[in-house]
Amino acid sequence: MSVPLPVSLPSAPAEFVVLNSRRSTLVLEAHADEAPLWRYWGPRLPDGARPDAPLRDTRPLPSFMLDFDQPLTLVPTFGVGWFGQSALLAHRDGLSFAQAITACEVEWITPQRAVRLRLTDAVAQLRLDVTLALDDASDVLVASTTLTNLGDGVLDVQWLAALTLPLPGRCDTVRSYAGQHVHEFLLQTDPLSRSVWRRENRRGRTSHDCFPGAVVTTPGATDDAGLVYGAHLAWSGNHQQSIEWLHDGQYQWQLGEWLAPGEGRLAPGATLHTPELVATLSNAGYNGLAANFHTELRSRLNWPGGTMKPRPVHLNTWEGFYFDVHPGPVKELATAAAAVGIERFVLDDGWFHQRHHDRAALGDWWPDESKFPNGLGDLVAHVNGLGMEFGLWFEPEMVNPDSELFRSHPDWALQIDGRPLITGRNQLVLDISRPEASDYLFGKLDALLTELPIRYIKWDHNRDLTTAGLADGRAGYRAQVHAAYALFARLRAAHPEVEIESCSGGGGRIDFAVLRHTHRVWTSDCIDALSRVDIQRGYLQFFPPEVMGAHVGTAPAHTTGRTQGMAFRAAVALPGHLGVELDVRHLNQADRNELAGWIALYKQLRERLHHGRVWQGQTADGVVWQLHGDEAATDLTLLAYRIKPSTHRYTPAVRLPMLLADARYLVQELQPAGAHGAAHHTSAPLFEQLRGAGVEMAGAWLAEAGLPLPRALAETACIVQLRRL
């Protein structure tokens, strides 16, 4: 046994690594012989602001303390004096279970904007490369970590954080999102304390019930004011995040991929790459934080042709037909859809070989001979002839036991020897990390996309992963996610004009990583407008509205049985990527006319709704609202939703603090052509003027006193346009 080395303080002088954006600053204290120490992540500091002394010079050791102070580092490690959550947990056949960085190299990628920290542990024989990039336009920090095994033996990794973030001790609350199928983005608010706050997901996809991100607040934070922090793991699989109180009164926040046993097993020379962490902060409350996330995601959405075209109004056939799709009725629906202004027609489930219900045929991706004996070409031509794009539903990662594919290749399903196959929605999961399975899927989709002018794919993923074993018996959760990304990329490369929607049973795969490959997410299988209000408000904390699938559904809603009027259903769907999910043929003429009016209004507003800021708020009387418009607050649209009956005699005004105090605005209520049935109980002269030519109002008054709202029935909406004069 070797003789232990005496503990010594770092010998290298401190180098301060500083990243700045418009409104935030990150400061690390780097020494050549240890991991960088966290000094600051918060609101923007003046240029040149640096710590006055090394951190340890400011921290006298308390009683019963180790003789060597170990503050929070960029990669806190287990076993050598750090007793908090570690950024890395690993070993070599039970040995080398403790790690500590012995060398640190700072490599600037872009001065003051992006840096790579090369951190080596010469004893445990590994290297951690941590990349940090702070974007000036969005104030968003994008970070990731790569672990390399420098030793001769296998390194087993149990946990590797994408990044460890510091949070100030004044943080008091964490806001996260739970939920389930048809009830996603359910806001959870927990106090921060000395207890560890943790969320873990092991479902194999992003999940409906455990969103991989959160918002941390400081006292007094509101929608529009106060310091808040946010982070999101850009990853479509298992994940974990935790917030832990530290003994200097601060907190550490870690996010990373949750690794199944064996998934972090690294051969000599092998690497493990974490997902990207997307983190930001704002002094402008939740709305400021949302604006940062929206800006970052928008800058990296991979649109066909490089730019987003106006988001086309979209009809999906699912709740109109379910599996009962046949050329005649589908063509009739397409004709009716075009007549009300639909621009994209998407044929959902039920079109492929022997697909008559959810118990068979997944994997057999060719048109059903009994429904479409001549293929889909005639239907696609009919849809295109009506001036609409054609889209098609697939669920490529799944297979039914009752299918030609499974009968030919039962070994292609994820499975564990000796364990029963567990179905979900009567389906199994294909091991698409197998090249032959991925090639099969690409071949089937590519053939249809090559043969027909299909411009849109609705890509579903309707179950969690269980018995997720690869061909060699190892766990395949992360392999499945990377294989899905690779299949997306391969298909996009072959057909760059095609847009892809990430559906996943509604909200099961919504994250920044899947949106590096896709162009829309289906926010929830619940189209009940009242439920959708909260779902969409939670979604908008992280994601912009133009990729939020939002449909006008049936009444009563299929998932809840509740009924709302056409106006409320349409108004709730309006600010997202508008779609329709009902059989237009069965609407009476008044409802058809009203739906056409809402579609026309969406086309009038979509550039404003989908390119600017989104602000959200609420009053004390059952009204929630969102405002869309340009950053300069010159052209805005307010959508106010009354979600429950009023408890006030007079509806409280909506304060709009983002308006310019020295400006005047023309304020006008918008109502679509064909609207029928008044939502307002009573009226007053001001509201008559708003519904007419509009009213000129002072920005300062609207910001501080607020915009009056009419007294209205529950489950109604008021839409107002504000233009700076």
Q: Three-state SS for 558? A: coil
Pick from 102, 72, 65, 103: which is nearest to 87 by CA?
72
At residue 337, the pLDDT reads 98
Cα gap 142→78, rounded to integer Å: 25
With a cut of 80, say whether residue 679 has pLDDT above it. no
Number of residues assigned to the chain: 725
Active site annotation includes 364: no
- Of 666, 544, 520, 702, the C-alpha closest to 612 is 544
Give 475's Cβ-side CA count (13 Å radius). Answer: 17
Give residue 420's pLDDT: 96
Is pLDDT above 60 for 477?
yes
- Calculate the average pLDDT of the chain: 96
With beta carbons less than 8 A apart as the criterion, state whether 347 and 391 touch: yes
Neighbours of 465 (CB within 10 A): 23
Q: Scanning the structure block, which residue is given the tokens 């966290």? A: 38
Q: In whole angstroms, what is the distance from residue 241 CA to residue 77 CA?
A: 16
pLDDT for 9:
55
pLDDT one-digit tens code per residue, 285-299: 999 999 999 999 999
Say if residues 231 and 213 touch (Cβ distance below 8 Å): yes
CA angle 528, 352, 448 (to 5 degrees): 105
Give backbone dihedrals phi and psi of 3, rounded to 5 degrees, phi first.
-80, 130
- Name beta bridge partners: 616: 626
**Closest CA relative to residue 533, chosen from 498, 562, 492:** 562
Residue 642: pLDDT above 60? yes
Rounded to 5, what percent of the chain is helix, strand, coil? 20, 30, 45
Catalytic residue among 129, 348, 511, 525: 525
Which SS3 state, helix, strand or coil, does residue 346 take?
Answer: strand
Which one of the listed residues 460, 528, 583, 591 is annotated catalytic?
460
- Asked whether residue 682 carries a pLDDT value surpassing 80, the answer given is no
Instruction: Say what the pLDDT of residue 683 is.
Output: 79
CA geometry: angle at 58 spanning 54 and 61, to 5°?
120
pLDDT confidence bin for 8, thresholds 50/70/90 = low
Contacts of 154 (CB under 8 A, 6+ apart): 92, 93, 265, 266, 267, 268
Segment 328-381, tens digit of pLDDT: 999 999 999 999 999 999 999 999 999 999 999 999 999 999 999 999 999 999
Higher pLDDT among residues 631 and 36, named by residue: 36
Q: Which helix (H) or strand (E) holds 500?
A: strand 499-502
Tens-digit pLDDT profile for residues 115-147: 999 999 999 999 999 999 999 999 999 999 999
3-state DSSP assignment of residue 609: helix
pLDDT at 674: 81
User: Residues near 691 by Cβ (< 8 Å), separated by ≥ 6?
Assistant: 668, 669, 671
SS3 318: helix
Q: Which residues, including other chains, have CB under 8 Å from residue 418's CB and lie 6 or more apart?
A: none
Kindly list the distances between the CA atom of residue 162 and the CA atoms of 74, 132, 171, 417, 451, in Å, as whole numbers in the listed order: 10, 11, 22, 32, 42
User: Which among 99, 135, 101, 106 has a CA at the least distance from the CA of 120?
Assistant: 101
pLDDT of residue 6: 53
Consecutive H or E run containing 446: helix 435-451
Q: Is the distance from CB of 337 to CB of 580 less than 8 angstroms?
A: yes
pLDDT in tens, 423-452: 999 999 999 999 999 999 999 999 999 999
Closest CA to 687 of 662, 653, 664, 663: 653
**Position 462 pLDDT exceeds 70:** yes
Helix, strand, or coil (residue 149) = strand
Task: Work out whether the CA dihedral 433, 435, 440, 444 comes out positive or negative.
Answer: positive
Task: Outline where DSSP puts E strands in 168-284.
Answer: 173-180, 183-191, 197-201, 213-217, 228-234, 239-245, 251-257, 265-266, 271-273, 276-282
**CB neighbours of residue 681 within 10 Å:** 12
What's the count of helices (H) and strands (E) in the chain, helices before strands? 12, 35
Predicted confidence at residue 489, as pLDDT, reads 98
Q: What are phi and psi of 52, to 5 degrees?
A: -80, -15
Q: How far apart are CA 139 and CA 19, in angstroms?
A: 11
Is 460 annotated in the active site? yes
pLDDT per residue as tens digits for the range 643-670: 999 999 999 999 999 999 999 999 999 9
